[in-house]
Amino acid sequence: MIGIFGGTFDPVHYGHLRTVLDVREAAGLEQVRLVPLLGAVHRAQPATPANIRLAMAQAAVAGTAELVVDDRELSRGGQSFTYDTLVSLRRDQGGEKPLALILGADAFGGFLSWHRPLDILGLAHVIVMERPGHVLGAGGELGRLVADRRVADAAALAGSASGSVLPVEVTQLEISSTDIRARVAAGRSIRFLVPEPVERIIRQLGLYRA
């Protein structure tokens, strides 16, 4: 099963990379694809051009065979709806094989306000990166959706192509792209927060300077 992990990746950091590797191991995924978005739907547009965010993501995963970068949202153009991305992946891999969309618990909190959320669950399973002590989709409509679709382990995902929700606990790393951009703007170091090749691109291109 392939896992899909979308983001702005402005820049990609160890909070993205380590946690998706945790998900890969916990859920027995063959591969996780990092999918940089072009046109943000739920947030401000990234300041850094797409080709540079793509280059940083590619540099970050070079040499890690189980993580790859998928640029289909950049080549598609326009707004990057996850639904469209999953339709296109389904076209590539057929309708039968399971597919998993990986989301942070914060992103999952807003899942029902996404474009066609129930159709997304018709195309893929959803794996939510949980935080200890964080109740997944507590109460309300999202809580009911989780109660109906939650499975206890990764083996349960393999039995169908889509539609289940699996919480996975991941390494807790309080790293964000916002914080990295602020550190660079303040002239502070970002070493050990991002892979060295990403740090080099940021330095060479003078990204995020005040």
Question: In the bound complex, what is the minimum distance in angstroms from residue 15's beta carbon to ligand ATP?
Answer: 2
Q: Pick from 2, 4, 10, 157 the residue near ligand ATP by CB under 6 A.
A: 10
Task: By CB under 6 A, tell whether 53 contacts ligand ATP.
Answer: no
Q: Taken in order 108, 109, 114, 118, is the CA torsion positive or negative? A: positive
Give the CA diameter of the chain: 51
Task: Give, as ranges, the residues between 87 and 106 that touch ligand ATP (CB under 6 A).
Answer: 103-104, 106
Whether 46 contacts 10, CB under 8 Å? yes
Question: In the bound complex, what is the minimum distance in angstroms from residue 96's beta carbon to ligand ATP?
Answer: 27
> Which contacts (CB < 8 Å, 24+ apart) does range 162-165 have?
162/98, 162/99, 162/121, 162/122, 162/123, 162/124, 162/125, 163/121, 163/122, 163/125, 164/125, 164/126, 165/125, 165/126, 165/127, 165/128, 165/136
Site stretch for ligand ATP (CB under 6 A), options 9-17, 59-67, 73-81, 155-163? 9-17
List b or e across 91-100, with b for residues whose CB sees 16 or more CB atoms inside 10 angstroms: eeeeeeebbb
Task: By CB under 6 A, tell whether 9 contacts ligand ATP.
Answer: yes
Task: Give, as ranges, the residues between 119 and 148 that touch ligand ATP (CB under 6 A).
Answer: 129
Task: Give, as ranges, the residues between 158 and 187 that touch ligand ATP (CB under 6 A).
Answer: 173, 175-178
Based on CB atoms, which residue is closest to ligand ATP, 32 or 154?
Answer: 32
Residue among 128, 61, 79, 138 at smallest CA distance from 101? 128
Measured CA to CA, the distance from residue 166 to residue 84 in angstroms comes to 22
Based on CB atoms, which residue is closest to ligand ATP, 55 or 107?
Answer: 107
Q: Pick from 17, 19, 86, 161 the residue near ligand ATP by CB under 6 A.
A: 19
How many helices (H) and strands (E) would you count in the chain? 10, 6
Question: In the bound complex, what is the minimum distance in angstroms from residue 120's beta carbon to ligand ATP?
Answer: 14
Q: Pick from 15, 137, 167, 195 the residue near ligand ATP by CB under 6 A.
A: 15
Task: By CB under 6 A, tell whether 8 contacts ligand ATP.
Answer: yes
Measured CA to CA, the distance from residue 166 to residue 157 in angstroms comes to 8
Task: By CB under 6 A, tell whether 58 contacts ligand ATP.
Answer: no
Task: By CB under 6 A, tell whether 107 contacts ligand ATP.
Answer: yes
Task: By CB under 6 A, tell whether 111 contacts ligand ATP.
Answer: no
Residue among 47, 122, 54, 119 at smallest CA distance from 81? 119
Contacts with ligand ATP by CB under 6 A lie at: 7-10, 15-16, 19, 103-104, 106-107, 129, 173, 175-178
